[in-house]
């Protein structure tokens, strides 16, 4: 299901496990990663790896310039996802995130603007009839259309009707 279709479907409602079917997709707004973001993340985490904070050092790396921390990019992806319109409808039904798996196929540079394309890839029942599992694939995509990060997220959701089959 495309983003406009999902927005029509979920107007003024909560999304439950039954609503999150494989193939549904949506895209978040975007955010630019700034030098201040990288510096603040380094200070917050204590990760002062030179490829992130030392421009002269980074010039000599395979990247040729400083790159954003992978976990900073993943954190921005989580933030963009949590403030997206469909995600606002999860608040009444999302129990928890069970797992996140990350890949960083390309670097994210200071000044890159990323958005997140999200797809529901799997929907499973659990041993409890009041909940189900939904797997999402989130792709962080920069302004050049390159996938810079992939996050496979598995989440536990409430079911609308306990015991209802898919």
Spatial separation of the C-alpha atoms in residues 112 and 118, rounded to whole Å: 19
Structure tokens, 74 = 């993943």
pTM greater than 0.75 (yes/no): yes
pLDDT per residue rounded down to tens, the chain (166 residues)? 555 555 555 455 788 899 889 999 999 999 999 999 999 999 999 999 999 999 999 999 999 999 999 999 999 999 998 887 666 677 778 788 899 999 999 999 999 999 999 999 999 999 999 999 999 999 999 999 999 999 999 999 999 876 544 4
Which residues on adjacent β-strands are paired with residue 96? 156
Query: What is the chain's alpha carbon radius of gyration, rounded to the nearest angstrom?
Result: 18
Q: Where are the domains of the chain?
A: 3-158
Instruction: Please state which of the four CATH numbers 3.10.129.10, 3.40.1030.10, 3.40.50.1390, 3.10.20.90 is assigned to the domain occupying 3-158.
Output: 3.10.129.10
Q: Are 148 and 73 in contact (CB under 8 A)?
A: yes
Q: Are 106 and 146 in contact (CB under 8 A)?
A: yes
Spatial separation of the C-alpha atoms in residues 46 and 61, rounded to whole Å: 21
């Amino acid at each position: 299901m495309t983003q406009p279709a999902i927005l029509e479907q979920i107007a003024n409602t909560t999304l439950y496990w039954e609503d999150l079917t494989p193939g549904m997709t949506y895209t978040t707004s975007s955010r630019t990663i700034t030098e201040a973001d990288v510096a603040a993340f380094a200070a917050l985490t204590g990760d002062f790896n030179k490829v992130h904070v030392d421009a002269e050092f980074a010039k000599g790396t395979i990247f040729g310039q400083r790159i954003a921390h992978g976990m900073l990019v993943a954190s921005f992806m989580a933030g963009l996802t949590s403030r997206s319109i469909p995600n606002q409808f999860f608040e009444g039904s999302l129990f928890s995130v069970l797992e996140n798996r990350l890949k960083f196929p390309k670097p994210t540079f200071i000044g890159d603007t990323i958005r997140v394309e999200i797809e529901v890839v799997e929907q499973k029942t659990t041993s409890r009839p009041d909940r189900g599992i939904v797997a999402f694939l989130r792709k962080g995509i920069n302004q050049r259309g390159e996938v810079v990060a992939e996050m496979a997220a598995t989440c536990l959701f409430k079911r609308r009707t306990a015991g209802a089959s898919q």
